[in-house]
Amino acid sequence: MVYTDLAGNVSNLTGGLMDAITYVLVAFAGISLITSMIMIAIITYTSVLERTKEIGVLKALGVRKRDITRVFDAETTILGFGSGILGVLIAWLLTFPANIILEKITGLSGVAALNLMHGVILILISTALTVLGGHVPARMAAKKDAAIALRSE
């Protein structure tokens, strides 16, 4: 006689399904992070193109390549940090209506919560991604020739 535990089988099936859903969601999150890094690079590159004359003036005044790179890296760092704080603040504010709705539907209170450490980690990730995405255009800005940059309109 073979004994089969139906509850164990259902539990294993559910666990496997949850793992598959988790992997799919992580893949989507990874794709969105890569896409956002590309968009940050494009925005920084556009900023470099619009400020070509400014870069030329800085180079003519004797500013080093490293310093020009730092200017654009600082801008992307500030943008990443600010957007990270804004995103975490919005997520935290959305936990209040989410908890009210979930309590009315399920009777459970305090389901949606944002851990402080998770918020800090998200802000750090946002900052790091913007710095990584904006560093290549910043290096391109530093390599511009001063005479050519000054001639641009």
Q: What is the pLDDT of residues 46-70, one digit of tens each?
A: 988 888 888 888 888 988 999 999 9
Mean pLDDT, the chain, as a whole number?
A: 88
31 pLDDT tier (thresholds 50, 70, 90): very high
pLDDT at 16: 81
100 pLDDT tier (thresholds 50, 70, 90): very high
**Residue 101: pLDDT above 70?**
yes
**Residue 117: pLDDT above 60?**
yes
Give the C-alpha separation, 112 to 115, whole Å. Answer: 10
Residue 1 in any domain: the answer is no
Which helix (H) or strand (E) segment is 96 a member of?
helix 65-106
pLDDT at 74: 93
Q: What is the DSSP string of 16-78?
A: HHHHHHHHHHHHHHHHHHHHHHHHHHHHHHHHHHHTHHHHHHHHHTT--HHHHHHHHHHHHHH
Residue 19 in any domain: the answer is yes
What region, left, alpha or beta, does residue 113 occupy, with left being phi > 0 and alpha being psi -120 to 50 degrees? beta
19 pLDDT tier (thresholds 50, 70, 90): confident
Range of the domain at 125: 6-151
pTM for the full predicted model: 0.76
pLDDT at 81: 95
Residue 33 in any domain: the answer is yes
C-alpha separations of 153 from 49, 145, 150 in Å: 10, 15, 8
Domain count along the chain: 1
**Residue 94: pLDDT above 90?**
yes
